[in-house]
Structure 1
Amino acid sequence: MKRRVLFVCTANSARSLMAEALLRDMAGDLFEVASAGTGPTSPHPMALQVLQEAGIATDSLHSKQLADLQGQHWDYVITLCEKAANHQCGSVCQPAQQIAWDFPDPVPSNRHATFALTLKEIKERISLFTQVHQKETGRKPISYDPVAVFKSMADEFRLSALLLIRDQGPLCVCELTEAFDAPQPKVSRHLATLKDTGLLETERRGQWIYYSLSPQIPSWLVRVLDETASSNGGLIQPAQERLLAMADRPAVRCV
Structure 2
Amino acid sequence: MPEKKEKISVLVLCTGNSCRSQMAEAWIRHFHGDRITVYSAGIEAHGLNPYAVKVMEEAGVPLSGHASKTIDELPVKEFDYVITVCDHAREACPYFPARVKVLHRGFDDPPSLTRDETDEERRLAVYRRVRDEIREFARTLPAFLGLSDQGA
TM-score (norm 1): 0.50
What is the identity percentage for the equivalent residue pairs of Structure 1 and Structure 2?
Answer: 32
How far residue 128 of structure 1 moved from its aligned partner, in angstroms, is 2.1
User: Which amino acid in structure 1 is aligned with residue 106 of structure 2?
Assistant: D
2:107 is aligned to 103
Deviation (angstroms), 1:69: 4.0
- Of the three residues 113, 117, 130, the one matched with 2:125 is 113
Query: Do 2:46 and 2:68's aligned partners in 1 also have CA atoms closer than 8 Å?
Result: yes
CA deviation after TM superposition for structure 1 residue 88, in Å: 3.4
**Counterpart secondary structure, 2:83:** strand
Distance 2:29 2:60 in 1: 13
Q: What residue is the counterpart of 1:196 in the other structure?
A: none
Give the Cα separation in 2 of the matches to 1:116 and 1:137. Answer: 28
Quote the offset at 1:57 in angstroms.
2.8
Tell me the residue number matched to 2:89. 84
Q: 1:106 to 1:40 in 2, by over 3 A?
A: same
Aligned residue among 58, 66, 73 for 1:53: 58
Give the aligned CA root-mean-square deviation in angstroms: 2.1
Structure 1 gaps, min length 5: 142-255
Query: Does residue 9 in structure 1 map to residue 20 in structure 2?
Result: no
Closer, same or farther: CA 132–104 of 1 in aligned 2, 3 Å: closer
Bigger relative CO (Cα 8 Å, ≥ 6 apart):
2
Q: Which has the larger radius of gyration?
A: 1
Deviations 1:39-89 (CA, angstroms, capped at 9, x unpaired) = 111000110111110000321211011233497210110001110001132
Q: How does 1:155-170 map to 2 (within 5 A)?
A: none
Aligned to 1:138: 149
Secondary structure at 1:62 match in 2 = coil
Matching residue of 2:134: 122
Output the amino acid matched with 1:56: V
Q: Could you give the per-residue CA deviations for residues 145-166 of structure 1, whole angstroms, max 9, x where no partner exists?
A: xxxxxxxxxxxxxxxxxxxxxx
User: 1:71/1:126 Cα in 2 relative to 1: closer, same or farther (>3 Å)?
Assistant: closer
Q: Which sections of structure 2, spanning at least 5 residues, go unmatched?
A: 1-5, 116-122
Residue 208 of structure 1 corresponds to none
Specify the SS of the correspondent of 2:111. Answer: coil
Q: Which amino acid aligns with 2:84?
A: T
Q: What one-letter code is carried by the residue in structure 2 that aligns with 1:18? A: M
What is the aligned partner in structure 1 of residue 119 from structure 2?
A: none
Q: Is the 8 A contact 2:83 2:105 kept in 1?
A: yes
Q: What SS is found at the alignment partner of 1:32?
A: strand
Q: What is the aligned partner in structure 2 of residue 25 from structure 1? A: 30
Aligned amino acid, residue 136 of structure 1: L
Distance 1:138 1:72, change over 3 A: same
Total equivalences in the alignment: 138
Paired with 2:86 and 2:135, the residues of 1 have a C-alpha distance of: 16
The residue number in structure 2 matching 1:75 is 80
